[in-house]
Structure 1
């Protein structure tokens, strides 16, 4: 029997004011907390500078924690078109930086992330934070944004792990 390999996953919860990030290790079905945090921008700076701060911050996280894969929460439209557009720009930065770093990147709807972590797609932030702490012993989640990013990473671990097992079964690979 061969040893299970560990895959490091970076989860991102993009936002123009606060982009949460979380890193977990996945070994088989076992999830381990590595790190989390948030990248904050100054609302008084112009949009281009704020996007640059997000870019540099995400790149710093990738360099520091060397993930193998990334997962980004998808943006849903809200009532304010300007806010939706800015959120989309932050998400675009998250997708660009991870892709340019050579990471495979998946995207997940918030409802799918919540269902994967809590069991219901309509969970509130407190429920998500609680379940993240339960699923990742040792994580203190530095903010709600970081907890959401860890939830995205957990969702990816479950989804990607299932995909890997299906492909392995089809190809006859044993890990």
Structure 2
């Protein structure tokens, strides 16, 4: 009998970074911890440091064995895309510093894994994540996205173990 795998999911953002930790065992998901790091709109270097330190502390406390981060989607605003890239970099660095490998998934792949379609809206994602992880209340948007990323990675890990390429 295999042990549960603890997975960290991160939805990076320059103002709010969502995070989720779930345990995955067979077909079952267990919610361990989730929420968001409120970063505000102050100095960008300080926000990046808070992402790095917040995730680093979380990894030390909850000891996940796997981690996944959402990739950057195309944005019209170049400044926003750069800030999002920096937030992703801080998250990935925190994960890598804890000797975890980092899986990266585009939003459409996460939506496909959770809802079955790459064009799902936020309400559909929120609804399915709440059901999959058995949450009593609907998660906040950043929290739901981070949970979806963690669940997507769990599905990907399971398919890799079965030898199914995705």
Q: Same fold (TM over 0.5)?
A: yes
State the Cα distance separating 1:29 from its structure 2 match.
2.2
Structure 1 segments of 4 or more deviating over 6 A? none
Residue 155 (structure 2) aligned to one of 143, 153, 158: 158
Gaps of at least 5 residues in structure 1 are 168-175
Gaps of at least 5 residues in structure 2 are none
User: Is the counterpart of residue 130 in structure 1 residue 130 in structure 2?
Assistant: no
> How many residues are paired up?
164
**Which of the pair has more CA radius of gyration?**
1
User: Is the counterpart of residue 15 in structure 1 residue 10 in structure 2?
Assistant: no
State the Cα distance separating 1:139 from its structure 2 match.
5.3
TM-score computed with the length of structure 1 as normaliser: 0.89
Root-mean-square deviation (CA, aligned residues, Å) is 1.3
User: Is the counterpart of residue 116 in structure 1 residue 151 in structure 2?
Assistant: no
User: Is the counterpart of residue 103 in structure 1 residue 89 in structure 2?
Assistant: no
CA contact (8 A) 1:116 1:158 kept: yes
Instruction: Return the alpha-carbon distance in structure 2 between the equivalents of residues 138 and 152 of structure 1.
Output: 16
Q: 1:77 corresponds to which residue?
A: 74
TM-score computed with the length of structure 2 as normaliser: 0.94
